[in-house]
Structure 1
Amino acid sequence: MNRKINRRKVTMALLLICVGLLAAVAVSGVLLAGQAAQTDFSLKNQTPSLTHLFGTDWMGRDMLSRTLTGLSMSIRIGLATAAVSAGISLLLGSAAALSRRADGVVTYCIDLVMGVPHILLLILVSLACGKGLTGVVAGVTLTHWTSLARVLRGEILQLRSAPYLQVAVKLGQSKWAILRRHLLPHLLPQFLTGLVLQFPHAILHESSLTFLGFGLSPEQPAIGNILSEGMSYLTTGKWWLALFPGLALVVTVALFAALGEGVRRLLDPATAHE
């Protein structure tokens, strides 16, 4: 018994550490936004040192400040897009409980979106919305709801044939009442897990769009812009311009993935008693 309790406590501690680190990055990026834009050509292209842990770029800007600012922007965009995308998934996935016609429309939309290569659809939506922040948010939001919607739909289809739901129907409860009282509480663990797991995908695809030139404008210190600019200097030996921002992005995505896995373990009945 103690072993089970300790494992849950360890998982909770790891979740708190992940949340704390991500919150620290998001807040520090906002606070360092002004410093990230400061230029000093007398300090340009300096290698990593105690004064500048990530070195400086070709304009003398501190790469640590720029990296934290870019990651903070990516985290904030990821949180916003993942939340809206998860809300769309819950809304469309729940339509399977209302009628077969609604379920058919949702299934068709899921197959339609998933039938287009993901990065291509992201680029097309971003271009259609004028690129920039609006294009990135629209592209990530409108292309990341399908997987979670399919999971929620499958869960609803399984629950729809449960005996207690059949009894609720015979007692005269409406479909909306059944959805609100009986189905949505069962979908909460899958919804929360899917919501958290969408964060790393949203951050990576936001960075990818910006890296390819279809996302945020070059003037913004986004992590995609930092990596795109740093890649052009790799051949001249300035490895720190791309290495440290890339590693920071990988660590951030790994923290979100660990956070999602921890939430899944805490909410999943199959692993709750391990």
Structure 2
Amino acid sequence: MVLPKLHHRLRLYISTMIAVFLLLTLIAMSMWLDASGLATNLTQRNLEPSTTHLFGTDWLGRDMFTRTMKGLLLSLKVGLTAGISSVVIASMMGIAAAVLGQVVNRFINWVTDLFLSVPHLVTLLLISFVLGGGAKGIIIGVALTHWPALSRVIRAEVMQIQTAPYVVISRNFGKSRWWIATRHIIPHLVPQILVGIILVVPHAILHEASITFLGMGLSPHEPAIGIILSESMRYLSSGLWWLALFPGLCLLIMVRTFAMLGENLKQFVNPQQTHDK
């Protein structure tokens, strides 16, 4: 019985290290590449993938490897900012619903049900359109649409912590709600918050790419993956398959890496799941 548990835990460590390595490699490569590959060079346009241009060049002679790496870094920045903002909102809503009484709890549950009743992408499109698109519109849109599910998890966790003996003892000794929240509740929520950030980021990255692909996201002058994929659609019929294949594949790898890292972290902070497998 011990060997399977050790084997499962070893696989978790290995897959986590692979995910961290891929993300660090992406960040380092994106920062290491200069902007020369983004410049127009009509003498090298529409070149197929080669050792000189790993992902080929586009119709303006721009290096697709540089554009893809820069686009992934931009998507990662937007996804992290939006994910962290969403988790902050979810944490505040979850704690408030569990601590501030029945009236606040019913109101937050109503707002949560309202957001969950509408598909993320529809609400995100509306918010991004109202705010004029761009990185600001996407970040605010993702932050306002991805908090409800996590807020319910945090609310349930807070309500469970409030019934713990050490919290009851602190309350009987006259400790304030703020003291109990900062000393007992919030420290116990750190693992759930970290997992929430890691799991929300891939959704934010995919939604950023989707909104940008539809023309309501980042500026066309920026090397965003959504813009690259949108522009490449006009040239696929001409046989320029590499314009969409490599950026789309790299986006899929980055999102899957984040998802794998989030699932592994979720199992690390919840030992019961690891022991059950």
Give the TM-score, by structure 2 length. Answer: 0.91
* Structure 2 residue 142 is matched with structure 1 residue 140: yes
1:222 maps to which residue?
224
Structure 1 contact 126–135 (Cα < 8 Å) conserved: yes
1:182 maps to which residue?
184
Q: Secondary structure at the match of 1:52?
A: coil
Q: Secondary structure at the match of 1:210?
A: helix
1:243 maps to which residue?
245
Structure 2 contact 120–146 (Cα < 8 Å) conserved: no
1:73 maps to which residue?
74
Structure 2 contact 8–274 (Cα < 8 Å) conserved: no
Q: What is the rounded CA distance, in whole Å, between the counterparts of 1:8 and 1:97 in structure 2?
A: 36
Q: What is the rounded CA distance, in whole Å, between the counterparts of 1:144 and 1:112 in structure 2?
A: 12
Q: What is the rounded CA distance, in whole Å, between the counterparts of 2:114 and 2:34 in structure 1?
A: 40
Q: What is the rounded CA distance, in whole Å, between the counterparts of 1:178 and 1:105 in structure 2?
A: 23
Q: CA deviation at 1:27?
A: 3.1
* Structure 2 residue 245 is matched with structure 1 residue 254: no
1:103 maps to which residue?
105
Structure 2 contact 40–62 (Cα < 8 Å) conserved: yes
In structure 2, runs of 5+ residues without a counterpart are none
Structure 2 contact 229–248 (Cα < 8 Å) conserved: yes
Q: CA deviation at 1:189?
A: 2.1
Structure 1 contact 27–72 (Cα < 8 Å) conserved: no
Q: CA deviation at 1:116?
A: 2.1
Q: Aligned residues: percent identity?
A: 45
137, 155, 160: which one pairs with 1:158?
A: 160
Q: What is the rounded CA distance, in whole Å, between the counterparts of 1:227 and 1:206 in structure 2?
A: 12
2:197 maps to which residue?
195
2:36 maps to which residue?
35
Q: Secondary structure at the match of 1:270?
A: helix
Structure 1 contact 26–76 (Cα < 8 Å) conserved: no
Q: CA deviation at 1:180?
A: 2.3
1:120 maps to which residue?
122
* Alignment length (residue pairs): 274
Q: Secondary structure at the match of 2:273?
A: coil
Please, what is the CA RMSD of the aligned residues? 1.9
Q: CA deviation at 1:60?
A: 0.9
189, 210, 213: which one pairs with 1:208?
A: 210
Structure 1 contact 36–69 (Cα < 8 Å) conserved: no
Q: CA deviation at 1:2?
A: 6.6
In structure 1, runs of 5+ residues without a counterpart are none
Compare 222-231 and 150-159 and name the one that shifted more: 150-159
Q: What is the rounded CA distance, in whole Å, between the counterparts of 1:261 and 1:136 in structure 2?
A: 25
Q: CA deviation at 1:202?
A: 0.8
1:131 maps to which residue?
133
4+ residue runs over 4 A deviation: 1-7
Structure 1 contact 86–194 (Cα < 8 Å) conserved: yes
